[in-house]
Structures are given as C-alpha cells and as structure tokens.
Amino acid sequence: MTTIRDIAKLANVSVATVSRIINHSGKVSMETKDRVKQIIKETNYHPNQVARTLYQKRSKMIGIIIPDLNNRFYTQIIDGIQEIIQKYGYTALISFSASSDNAKYQQYINNFENNNVDGIITSAFTINPNFQIHTPFVMYDSANIKDSVVRIASDNVKGGKESIDLLKNSAKNILIQHWPLTLPTIKERIESMITELNKLHINFVLEETSESDPSIAAQSTLEKYQQFDAIITVNDLYAARIIKESQRRNLKIPDDFQIVGYDNNILCEYTYPTITTIDQQPELIGKVAAQRLLQLINGDDSTQNSIVNVLPIKRNSTY
C-alpha cells in the first residue's frame, strides 16, 4: 500500500508538504505542487481515510438506523438522505433495527460513535429510553414532540384532516382503523381526524387493529362493512388487503363503501380500484433530516423540529 511517506520520498519532500498539497492547505510552490501531483497520479495514491479520521475525529460518514429495509416508506427516506449527504461527500453507514429494541439501538449508536461518524440519523424511539449519544443527531418518523433532540415529523395533523376532507362530502358513517394510540404519530393523526369529524358532525367508530397482520384485519373489518360507507385504514397495505378481500366477496368499491389509505405506497396504483391516500413525502423527510443534520454538524445548535407537508392523492377508491 502506498502511503504519504512513500510519496514524500519519491518527490524528495517532507510528508507535511505532501499533506498540504492533498488538502490544499498552507503554502506550497507551484513547482513542488506539480511534481508531487504528478507522482500521486502515477502511483495512484489515495490517502487513507482511517488515519485521517483518527487525528481529525471527522470521518465523512453518517450513521443511519432504519427499522425495515423492505418498507418502501423507509427506503425512500434513505434515498432522500442519501441524495443530500453524498453531495457533500459523506457516506452512509447503515444498521437495521426495530424501533422497540432499545439495547440494539444503543449498541448501534455506540458502534457509530466508535467509528467517529460525523452525525447520526435514526427513526423515532417509541419510548424515551435515555440514549447516550454524543454526536449530532436527528430523528425522523417522529411526532412533533418538543424536547432536546431535532425531530423531523410528518404533518400528522394535516394528514388526519385531509383523510376526512377526502370523504366529508360523500360519507356519513366512517370506520377508522388505527394502531395503538401509544404510538405518538398515530395519536396525532387520529386526534386530528376526531377533531375534524366532530366539527363536521359526521358519525365514526374507532377500531384498533393488530399491528402485524393486514389480512386478518381486513377480514374482521369487512364483517361490519354494512354499517359504514367509508373506511380509513392504517396504511395502504391494509387498504389493499380490504380491496382484495372485498373482491372475493363481490363487494364494489367505492359503491358499497369508500376506502382511504395512508402513505401513497406503490401498490395504490396497481390495485383495482386504485387507492385514494395521503402521501407523506418520505423522500422529502429524508432530505430535510439530512439537511438538518448537516447544519448540526456545522455548528448550528437549534433543536427546533421540522414538519414535512403531506399531500392528499385522490384515486378511484373514493368518490
């Protein structure tokens, strides 16, 4: 392996001079610079980032923790993060962990910090677990909770309101499927729906569903479909399952009931009918998260949250 000392020897200069040339710092004569650059090119020398990181404590790496790679919502967030950080020469160090596994989370954070990452982006922790973290840090997929960390939240309040807006002119009895309200993001969304429904004097029922199985949820929801003319699901996967199940039962959507999903999953365009939904703009969430992180890395110390807008997408599962 070629080192900076090899280059220095070949060029008959000191390592300091070579270092200055690599980093465009300090004073070097044109003549020396040209000679050394030529040798660097000939030997195909690349400075070792590890040695650099050890001294400078800056690695040009960002640590990212993602709950689930097979969930498009998260991959789009990463895509957004990636787009920003690579522009500034950072590389992504990625680990995978469910939000609930706090021990693993702390372990990954330690690993990141042991590798001197310049910043860390993680999904939101469900419970406050008092993580030890000494590196610039932002959380995505969070509710708008005010505390000492930078949170990137989707506009869940608007998301809830938009869900109702999509139905308010045509639905009189709405079934709202939801996950446990202990999840702060869900809580924000559902509370916003309730506020809106009360304002509009529309009937509704809340149905808490098992977090894990959309197909079972679909079955049990459809048992009572006759009482409702619209269903709001936890996300598009649940909506797609209900559509699938209603095809089997020969129910017509939106005629027998309308349905509104959440997330604007790619599925929405391929089901029959296509699914009306709310787009959280995950790629934008990722971009905002990365931008905020870079600000922190560069010395900004504001801890204000960022709220990312949501977009209602009208398709054929509603009137």
Residues that bind its own copies (CB under 8 A): 44, 46-51, 53-54, 59, 61, 69-70, 72, 75-76, 78-79, 82, 86, 91-96, 110-111, 113-116, 132, 240-241, 243-244, 247, 266-267, 269-272
Neighbours of 181 (CB within 10 A): 14
Neighbours of 165 (CB within 10 A): 14
* CA nearest to 121, candidates 159, 90, 160, 165: 90
Residue 111 interacts with which of DNA, its own copies, none, CB < 5 to 8 Å by class: its own copies
Q: Minimum Å distance from CB 88 to DNA? A: 17
For 62-117, give the secondary structure using H, E and C: EEEEECCCCCHHHHHHHHHHHHHHHHCCCEEEEEECCCCCHHHHHHHHHHHHHCCC
Q: Minimum Å distance from CB 62 to DNA? A: 20
| Cα 291 to Cα 128: distance, rounded to the nearest angstrom | 24
Judged by beta carbon, residue 58 or residue 224, the one nearer DNA is: 58
CA angle 259, 243, 158 (to 5 degrees): 30
Residue 269 interacts with which of DNA, its own copies, none, CB < 5 to 8 Å by class: its own copies
Residue 115 interacts with which of its own copies, DNA, none, CB < 5 to 8 Å by class: its own copies
Residue 67 interacts with which of its own copies, DNA, none, CB < 5 to 8 Å by class: none
Judged by beta carbon, residue 100 or residue 115, the one nearer its own copies is: 115
Judged by beta carbon, residue 31 or residue 301, the one nearer DNA is: 31
| Cα 69 to Cα 155: distance, rounded to the nearest angstrom | 23
Residue 147 interacts with which of DNA, its own copies, none, CB < 5 to 8 Å by class: none
For residue 273, say if its preceding peptide bond is cis, omega within 30 degrees of 0.
yes
Judged by beta carbon, residue 1 or residue 127, the one nearer its own copies is: 1
Interface residues with DNA (CB under 7 A) are: 1-5, 12-17, 19-20, 22-23, 25-32, 45, 47-48, 51-52, 54-56
Q: Minimum Å distance from CB 227 to its own copies? A: 25
Judged by beta carbon, residue 111 or residue 220, the one nearer DNA is: 111
Judged by beta carbon, residue 115 or residue 198, the one nearer its own copies is: 115
Task: Give 166's DSSP letter.
Answer: T
| Cα 217 to Cα 231: distance, rounded to the nearest angstrom | 12
Judged by beta carbon, residue 35 or residue 104, the one nearer DNA is: 35
- Parallel, antiparallel or unpaired: strands 311-313 and 277-279: antiparallel
* CA nearest to 156, candidates 21, 308, 28, 312: 308
Residue 88 interacts with which of DNA, its own copies, none, CB < 5 to 8 Å by class: none
Residue 61 interacts with which of DNA, its own copies, none, CB < 5 to 8 Å by class: its own copies
Neighbours of 87 (CB within 10 A): 10
